Amino acid sequence: MNRSFQWGLLASAAIFSAMPQAVSAQTARGAPAAILPGERPAAAAQPQAGDQRTITPAIAPPAGTPVGTTPLFVENNEVVQPVTPAVQTWTVAQAGALVKVIEDIGSEGLDPRDYHLAELQAAISAGAGAGLNEIASRSFTYLIEDMRDGRTPMESRRQWFVVDPDPDRYRTADIMQQALDSGDIAAALKSVAPLHPDYGVLRAELARTPKSDSKRRKLIRANMDRWRWLGRDLGGQYLITNVPEYQLRLTVNDKIISTYRTIVGKPGRTATPQLAESVEGVIFNPNWTVPQSIVKGEGLGAKVLNNPAWAKRAGYVATKGENGWISVVQQPGPTNSLGRMKLDMPNEHAIFLHDTPNRNLFSQANRALSHGCIRTERASELAITMAILQAGLSAEEGVEHNTSGKYTRVGFDKTMPVYITYFTMARDIDGKLATFDDIYDRDAPVLAALDKPRIANRARVTDEEVVPLEAPGA
């Protein structure tokens, strides 16, 4: 084994073992119990389109319940709190504090006009009562939703398949009640803001950018909003890749441990989608079941059957059933399209991180070349490091699996989150704020949404088509 490669693996393992684990990190931040990527959050009490749950109308609160208390719903015989809060009782002083927060909300990349500032000020002038309660509750709810979930409606988030867990972690009604109990409206808003340091970097850049530079300000705001689309807390240790940057980061407590160049999907139908999933294991020397779009559509099945010498060199094994159906599997080996490893991260898109035999492509500037999956530089190093950290293997055991030439799956003791993101302005791997080419033209709908009136009652999930992987090779 190459000595520098071995030392790199051992150093990565030592760094990780010295770091607090994900649960400890979240506890220190005061975050609620984590909902892992790939895991669907608890269902909201408000029914969505096509919802088959049994939800009865609001039940009357017990006698003596204070006015403004959030009503309850019965869902599947369980009393639950709805996501959308009831109107709360606001004092003039509390509403005045809300006005100040709205007036300064531009610093977060949001627009004060979205939060009914003039109506709120008029209601304050009229004094405490039903009118003030209604407008203050609505303005606060919109603020919390936009800071927690993002202002951009789902239809403007192209190929965005992440289900944000934050509406379930930080329920609007709870946040509002805490704000009214404490009187600190600004702290309530901060309690749902993204924790990742890149959000703060963008926020500071927005403050430095002159208002006359409207184009740059809008790009900053759009990318700040993209952080709000994700969970507020990404976890203590995770993988994150920014598709337009062509880089993957192995991260602990939001600090980069290792970086790897990537090759991502070609623009168009095979563009890499944005996902939040969980890596369950690593597969050394994977095989590849070739999709029928290639076996039949591109004639590979017939070629393998008719040219056995070529098929053997390429590692293909074909099986023809009695009904004429041909299946082709590429065996582990130096020509395998998945290279020496792939990360096992089950998802309906069939997107995963893997090696490639065409490693020369990592030297290209434009690396949008794949059929959707993410090919990873120094993939063997990444795979062995992950096996050390998540499965307790030694470096020697990892190298042995990697070089054996045999299919070997190493399951993890604990899954690791992986985030496939799309930021056109963010810190690069050197920590410097940079812009990246909008390779999939995903900026335009987000920028356009910032110019349109805010949309209320937005969907939490996309209705975009899921396009499963067609092939990992170029």
321-355 pLDDT tens trace? 888 899 999 999 888 999 999 999 999 998 999 99
In this prediction, residue 23 carries a pLDDT of: 37
In this prediction, residue 52 carries a pLDDT of: 32
In this prediction, residue 54 carries a pLDDT of: 30
297 falls in which pLDDT band (50, 70, 90)? confident
Mean of per-residue pLDDT scores for the chain: 84
Task: Report which secondary-structure segment, H or E, holds 259.
Answer: strand 255-265
Pairing of strands 288-289, 255-265: unpaired
pLDDT tens per residue, range 80-115: 444 456 788 999 999 999 999 999 999 999 999 999
What gap in Å lies between CA 71 and CA 74, rounded to an integer?
10
Pair 163, 41: CB distance under 8 Å: yes
367 falls in which pLDDT band (50, 70, 90)? very high
* pLDDT, average across residues 8-22: 48
Please report, as a single letter, which amino acid is at residue 133: N
Q: Is 153's pLDDT higher than 60?
A: yes
Pair 311, 320: CB distance under 8 Å: no
Q: Which two tokens stand for residue 461?
A: 């999930």
What gap in Å lies between CA 132 and CA 118, rounded to an integer?
12
* pLDDT, average across residues 355-381: 93
In this prediction, residue 49 carries a pLDDT of: 33
pLDDT tens per residue, range 399-457: 999 999 999 999 999 999 999 999 999 999 999 999 999 999 999 999 999 999 999 88
Select the more confidently predicted residue: 78 or 267.
267
Pair 237, 416: CB distance under 8 Å: yes
8 falls in which pLDDT band (50, 70, 90)? low
* pLDDT, average across residues 32-50: 37
Q: Shortest CA distance to 376 belongs to which of 272, 298, 466?
A: 272
Neighbours of 381 (CB within 10 A): 21
| Integer CA distances (angstroms), 367 to 56, 296, 340, 420, 460, in order | 52, 28, 20, 16, 31
**Angle at 316 (CA atoms; ends 312, 319), nearest 5 degrees:** 110
The length of the chain is 474
Phi/psi-derived region of residue 393, left when phi > 0, alpha when psi is between -120 and 50, beta in every other case: beta
In this prediction, residue 470 carries a pLDDT of: 52
Please report, as a single letter, which amino acid is at residue 151: R
High-pLDDT (> 70) share of the chain, %: 81
469 falls in which pLDDT band (50, 70, 90)? low
* pLDDT, average across residues 199-206: 98
Q: Is 43's pLDDT higher than 80?
A: no
What gap in Å lies between CA 275 and CA 159, rounded to an integer?
9
Helices within 183-307 (DSSP H only): 185-190, 197-208, 214-229, 292-295, 300-306
* pLDDT, average across residues 389-396: 95
Pair 370, 264: CB distance under 8 Å: yes
What gap in Å lies between CA 401 and CA 286, rounded to an integer?
11
Domains and CATH numbers, the chain: 3-19+236-287+332-422 (2.40.440.10), 67-230+435-451 (no CATH)
High-pLDDT (> 90) share of the chain, %: 71
